[in-house]
Amino acid sequence: MAFATLDTPDGATRRFYHRDTDADRGVMGQIFGNQDYSLKRLRRGAELDALGAALPRPFILDAGANIGASVCWFALKFPNCQIVAFEPDAANFDLLRQNTEGLNVELHQAALGARDGTVTLVDPGEGEWGYRTIAAADGAVPILSVSRMVAEKCAAGFSPFIAKIDIEGGEAELFAPPVDWVDQFPLLTVELHDWLLPGQGTSRAFLQCIAARNRDFVHIGENIFSIRND
C-alpha cells in the first residue's frame, strides 16, 4: 500500500493511502493536484466560503466518495463541516474509512439514490473509480434515499452546505423526483456522464431538475457547479 502526505490546517500532516493504480492516482491528481472542488475557481467562491462559515453545523454530502480523496479535501478545507459520505464498493470503502480516520465524517457503505432499495455493483473496466450501480431487487448493496438522508441530518440540527455528486451515471436515478432536497444546498458540484455513457441520456434528470430552479450554472472541467440564488 502506497501513501501520499497531506497538509492539515494546523500545520501537521496526515497520510493518505492508495493502491498506486491508475484510478487512485487519477482521483488524487484531480482533487489534490488540480483542486477540482476548490471554491476559488468560482467568482462566488468568497460568498460561499462565508456562508459555509456562518451556517449552524454545516454538512457536506459526498456521493461517490471512492477512497476518500474528496472527503479528506473537504474535511481539511472546511473543518467546521461534517462530511457525510457514500461509497458502495467494499474495497474502496475500506480505504475510505482508513483515510478519514479521526476526521469529522459519517460514512455509509451504500449508494445514494431517489429512493431506498438495493443495487448491484458493476465493474465496466474503467478502474476502481468507475464502478456503476444497477437497480436490482436482490442486489447486495443498499441504495439510500437522498431526501431521507438530508431530512435526517436537518432533523439532527445540521445545515446542508455542499452536495458533491460523482456517481458514474447514477445521477439519472438520483435526480428523479422527489428533488426538493436540491433546494436545501447552496452549492451542488456534479460530474455528468453523457460522455462516458453515450445515448443513455444520463444527464437529463439533472438538467430538468436544475432548469426549474433559480440557480447559477457554471461548468469548469468535468464538473457543474450549481449555485443557489437566494
- pLDDT tens, residue by residue, 169-195: 889 999 999 999 999 999 999 999 988
Query: Residue 23: inside a domain, yes or no?
Result: no
pTM: 0.93
Choose among 48, 79, 72: nearest CA to 161.
48
Instruction: Please state the domain count of the chain.
Output: 1
* pLDDT at residue 152, as a whole number: 98
- Grid cell, residue 56, equals 449552524
* pLDDT at residue 133, as a whole number: 67
Query: Residue 2: inside a domain, yes or no?
Result: no
Give the structural domain span for 153: 37-228
Query: Residue 156: inside a domain, yes or no?
Result: yes
* pLDDT at residue 120, as a whole number: 78
Query: Residue 7: inside a domain, yes or no?
Result: no
Query: Residue 49: inside a domain, yes or no?
Result: yes
Average pLDDT along the chain: 92
* pLDDT at residue 197, as a whole number: 83
Q: What is the pLDDT of residues 1-58, one digit of tens each?
A: 899 999 998 899 999 999 999 999 999 999 999 999 999 999 999 999 999 999 999 9
Query: Residue 44: inside a domain, yes or no?
Result: yes
Query: Residue 188: inside a domain, yes or no?
Result: yes
Quickly tell me which residue has 462559515 as its cell.
Answer: 53
Q: What is the CATH number of the domain that holds 155?
A: 3.40.50.150
Torsion-angle region of 96 (φ positive above 0: left; ψ -120 to 50: alpha; else: beta): alpha
Query: Residue 117: inside a domain, yes or no?
Result: yes
Average pLDDT over residues 131-139: 66
Q: Is the pLDDT of residue 128 over 80?
A: no
